[in-house]
Amino acid sequence: MLELGRGVEAVVRVLDAMALRANVIAHNVANQNTPGFKRFEVVFEEGLREAFRRGDDPSSVVPTVRHDMSGPPGVNNVSTTQELAELDKVRLLYDLFSRRAAVAMSQLNRAIQSK
Amino acid sequence: MKGMQGVFTGFDIAASGMRTEMQRAEVVAANVANMHVTKGPDGLPYRRRTVVVEETAPSGFAAVLGSVGAAPGGTRVVRVATDTSTPFVPRFDPGHPHADANGFVLMSNVDIFKEMVDMAVIQRSFEANIASMQAYRGMLQTALQNIRV
């Protein structure tokens, strides 16, 4: 069977991961003044790289949330500027991959419509 | 939608941050407004108020993707506490009706400079939450524009 949706699948995975990362960053920014708060981060690219290296299906990579316990214990470790820079990066990647999804889908569409 | 992150969760999280900063600003305003109160309902000078902020759903993200569910995360004000660790400041003012036998009036423990610095931090934090909300909004907007069927 042809796996038509496969190209979109991996792209959608990236979009999901980016959306999760945006939420996690929003959570970090919202807690920038919460005493003792430790920031969260989404680990995804490493898993993706590993999957490509091993030849696994990239759409099987699941983003995980890691609790970053760096810094002295009981001290908030959020750097707002760093979080906002990260968020801007997420935004660009989201833009890029939503374009990729659109391209994949329009290709699929063309394949369906042409006889 | 169990096991799924809502599309608008980011807005809720940023909004919770903004709400918290607003409440902090209100308490700072109350401190500044009451800094010269020498006798409150309890017969003592005004005690500086502080806000206790807590992270909501702290373990929510730590699990697998999307298990946050109903609790989107963010932050919240748990309670408003009174600052009992800094002492009241005595000021020599014998003519004051609240002066003690030695002519000292106990002033509130509000430190105006501290409050001003807090207010500046609150303002910037509020703006940071707005920035994260705008970025999130931009993300969704580009997705809507790009993925058109």
Chain A residue numbers touching B132 (CB-CB < 8 A): 25-26, 29-30, 83-84, 87
Radius of gyration for the alpha carbons in chain A, expressed in angstroms and rounded = 18
The answer to whether A34 contacts B53, with C-beta atoms less than 8 Å apart, is yes
The segment with the largest mean pLDDT, out of A5-14, A58-67, B3-12, is A58-67
Which residue is associated with the tokens 């995975």? Answer: A13
Contact B109, B45 (CB under 8 A): yes
Structure tokens at A47: 């898993």
Q: What is the mean pLDDT of chain A?
A: 87
pLDDT digits (tens, 9 = 90+) for B96-118: 999 999 999 999 999 999 999 99
pLDDT average, residue stretch A43-65: 86
Residue B129: phi, psi to the nearest 5? -65, -40
* Distance of alpha carbon B107 from alpha carbon B86, whole angstroms: 12
pLDDT digits (tens, 9 = 90+) for B21-73: 999 999 999 999 999 999 989 889 999 999 999 888 744 454 444 444 445 68
CB neighbours (10 Å) of residue A61?
21
Alpha-carbon span B70 to B45, nearest angstrom:
43
Which residue blocks in chain B are alpha helix, DSSP H?
9-33, 112-146
Residues paired with B105 in a beta bridge? B91
Tokens of B72: 């989107």
The pTM (predicted TM-score) of the whole model is 0.82
Q: How far, in Å, CA of A82 to CA of A34, rounded? A: 17
Q: Between B132, B143, B149, which is nearest A25 by CB?
A: B132
Average pLDDT, chain B: 85
Q: Encoding tokens for residue B38?
A: 């020498």
- B123 pLDDT higher than 70: yes
Residue B120 is which amino acid?
A
Tell me which residues of chain A have a C-beta less than 8 Å from any C-beta of chain B. Answer: 15-16, 18-20, 22-27, 29-35, 37, 40, 62-65, 67, 80, 83-84, 87-88, 90-91, 94-95, 98-99, 101-102, 105, 109
